[in-house]
């Protein structure tokens, strides 16, 4: 047996043992493979105000890991480590805006142990969520773009060895609450997948396919939903929505797919308004909490469902054929509550628009007090309990917040993502369930940047259009599927100087009207006039201030295309504090970390492959 090196530096007088394979899930409950070759695995877990990391990488050279606002090397917070000739090293670095790597004078990443065998290097280290270092990136509940790299040589062998192609980026949510482990291996499931859908060579396609739930006549609960994305189509399939359709349909609607929102689509598609599940690009499977499930099998549950798949094909690639969809895992062991979904935010329409050249523009979609008062008052006066939220926008989106107000007083944010990544959208599990009661209202607040655009950005279905939506998973299920708003359009027109409009008898492409006066806009559509207006940054700021105060048209929908009586009514947005006042961040300096860090042992082991086997596998 080869020689075993064991080196330990005692920070206190206490010993702690290395994590065994059995202990890993407890110490690092989250994990992700960061590269396509499965050579770089990240494990992590929260310990109070500290986040612990464990890197398992197929190399005997250096390993790099970092946090980046853009997903690139510029202005990144980086740590580099390894084991060289039996000795550990771990250094805290940062890069400037020109991507120059510099040693951080305040070392905030702290090595816990390191191991190396004939093929792999393991590094375990930790860092405070919020340091007092301007070169570090705070770790919050928002999306985090982690960057990674490795090299077959150590840092000291030839200076800063360039990692070449052994690098990449991945968006993660490092502070997502831990999910209770549930074994699904023995549970039944069914798949809802498209069959050889020809994806057109155009920018955006919404494809709809009707399915029949195979579980009938007896109540069951869906406990987990997994995406089944065809290999190689991870960037083609942007999102999947599953709608409940009218129970009066028959099997003749099955086995037939068509483009959604198309003039020739089947009438049966129009009966599908209630969202029962949503998945978006970058997201993984969703597991319902132990006390909640998606009910199937009863008369009140979905029998016919419509699966809407959004294909994003900006390169107009020809000949694509897709077979993606969803897997629903279910159980006959019933849970206490049935889950429901509410779509909240801005109704997708041209009434939602964003001027060009704006580094910051805010749109708000209102789930109004009036809608919640009526629906909750009739169905659930005690309120509903939200346990997860999916925040949704498109390419111009930069940040999204779900603001919650109770009797006019703002509560803690229901959900937020201040580092929104269009390519990574998944349900956020709430740390604590939030109760929504009559008298509450919700605002989906979306922040956009259009600095690289020269024309208006419109609310719409394409990824080049925009959306501002939140999908709330809650229990117990009530008859409320959509709680949204549309801003008033007339004052938008007045802002650019429109005086008169009229609706032609035969509308073709001038929806919803054409302009009569003044002369510079005569016979133009709403879209043409807004694009013709000479937008400056100051005009954009003034326009933003205006639209945030406009009256809104209330959208308040039930299942089966029914509506609550408040639907279509006009309401004033509540008076709220803008911008949102974020909670103060309490940071901990590196020296404070050393003061408060529980007495532990920092140790590094350089072991053979056989010795590593005693600790457990790490790939």
Catalytic residue numbers, as ranges:
206, 392
The alpha carbon torsion through 605, 611, 617, 619 (nearest 10 deg) reads 60
The strand ranges marked E within 523-606 are 552-557, 570-571, 601-606
The CA distance from 127 to 588, in Å, is 10
8 A C-beta contact, residue 428 and residue 390 = yes
Spell out the SS3 assignment of 482-540: EEEEEECCHHHHHHCCCCEEECCCCCCCCCCCEEEECHHHCCCEHHHHHHHCCCCHHHH
The CA distance from 139 to 68, in Å, is 11
Quick one: how far is CA 161 from the chain centroid?
35
Torsion sign over Cα 333, 335, 338, 339: negative
The CA distance from 575 to 584, in Å, is 23
Q: What is the DSSP letter of 277?
A: E
The CA distance from 539 to 509, in Å, is 27
8 A C-beta contact, residue 166 and residue 151 = yes
The CA distance from 525 to 607, in Å, is 72
Torsion sign over Cα 140, 345, 257, 204: negative
As a whole number of angstroms, the longest Cα–Cα distance in the chain is 91
């Amino acid at each position: 047996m080869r020689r075993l090196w064991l080196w330990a530096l005692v920070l206190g007088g206490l010993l702690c043992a290395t994590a065994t394979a059995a202990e890993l899930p407890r110490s690092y409950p989250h994990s992700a493979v960061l590269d396509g070759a499965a050579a770089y695995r990240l494990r992590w877990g929260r310990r109070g105000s500290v986040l612990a990391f464990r890197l398992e990488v197929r190399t005997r050279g250096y390993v790099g890991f970092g946090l980046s606002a853009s997903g690139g090397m510029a202005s990144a917070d980086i740590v580099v480590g390894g084991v060289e000739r039996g000795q550990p090293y771990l250094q805290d670095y940062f890069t400037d805006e020109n991507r120059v790597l510099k040693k951080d004078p305040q070392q905030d990443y702290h090595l816990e142990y390191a191991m190396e065998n004939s093929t792999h290097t393991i590094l375990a280290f930790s860092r405070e969520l919020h340091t007092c270092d301007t070169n570090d990136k705070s770790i919050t509940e928002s999306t985090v773009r982690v960057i990674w790299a490795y090299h077959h040589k150590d840092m000291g062998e030839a200076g800063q060895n360039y990692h070449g192609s052994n690098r990449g980026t991945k968006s993660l949510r490092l502070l997502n609450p831990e999910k209770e482990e549930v074994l699904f291996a023995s549970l039944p499931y069914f798949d809802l997948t498209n069959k050889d859908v020809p994806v057109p060579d155009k920018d955006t396609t919404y494809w709809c396919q009707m399915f029949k739930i195979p579980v009938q006549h007896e109540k069951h609960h869906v406990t987990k939903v997994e995406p089944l994305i065809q290999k190689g189509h991870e960037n083609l399939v942007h999102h999947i929505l599953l709608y409940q359709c009218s129970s009066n349909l028959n099997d003749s609607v099955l086995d037939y797919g068509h483009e959604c929102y198309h003039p020739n689509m089947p009438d049966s598609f129009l009966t599908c308004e209630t969202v029962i599940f949503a998945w978006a690009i970058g997201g993984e499977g969703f597991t319902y909490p132990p006390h909640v499930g998606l009910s199937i099998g009863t008369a009140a549950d979905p029998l016919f469902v419509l699966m809407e798949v959004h294909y994003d094909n900006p390169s107009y690639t020809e000949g694509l054929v897709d077979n993606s969809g969803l897997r629903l895992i279910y159980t006959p062991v019933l849970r206490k509550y049935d889950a429901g979904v509410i779509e909240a935010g801005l109704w997708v329409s041209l009434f939602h628009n964003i001027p060009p050249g704006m580094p910051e523009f805010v749109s708000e979609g209102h789930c109004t007090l009036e809608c919640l008062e009526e629906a909750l008052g009739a169905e659930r006066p005690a309120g509903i309990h939200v346990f997860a939220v999916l925040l949704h926008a498109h390419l111009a989106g930069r940040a999204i917040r779900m603001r919650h107000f109770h009797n006019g007083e703002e509560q803690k944010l229901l959900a937020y993502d201040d580092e929104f990544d269009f390519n990574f959208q998944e349900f956020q599990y709430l740390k604590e369930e939030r109760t929504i009661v009559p008298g509450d209202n919700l605002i989906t607040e979306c922040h956009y940047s259009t600095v690289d655009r020269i024309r208006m950005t419109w609310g719409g279905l394409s990824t080049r259009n925009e959306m501002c939506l939140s999908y709330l998973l809650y229990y117990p299920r009530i008859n409320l599927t959509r709680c949204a708003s549309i801003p008033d359009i007339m004052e938008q027109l007045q802002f650019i100087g429109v005086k008169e409009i009229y609706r032609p008898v035969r509308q073709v492409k001038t929806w919803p009207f054409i302009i009569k006066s003044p002369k510079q806009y005569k016979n133009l559509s709403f879209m043409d006039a807004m694009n013709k207006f000479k937008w400056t940054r100051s005009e954009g700021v003034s326009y933003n201030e205006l639209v945030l105060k406009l009256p809104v048209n209330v959208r308040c929908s039930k299942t089966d295309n029914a509506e609550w009586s408040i639907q279509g009514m006009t309401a004033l947005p509540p008076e709220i504090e803008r911008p949102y006042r974020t909670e103060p961040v309490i940071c901990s300096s590196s020296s404070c970390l050393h003061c408060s860090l529980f007495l532990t042992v920092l140790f590094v082991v350089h072991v053979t492959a056989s010795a590593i086997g005693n600790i457990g596998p790490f790939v």
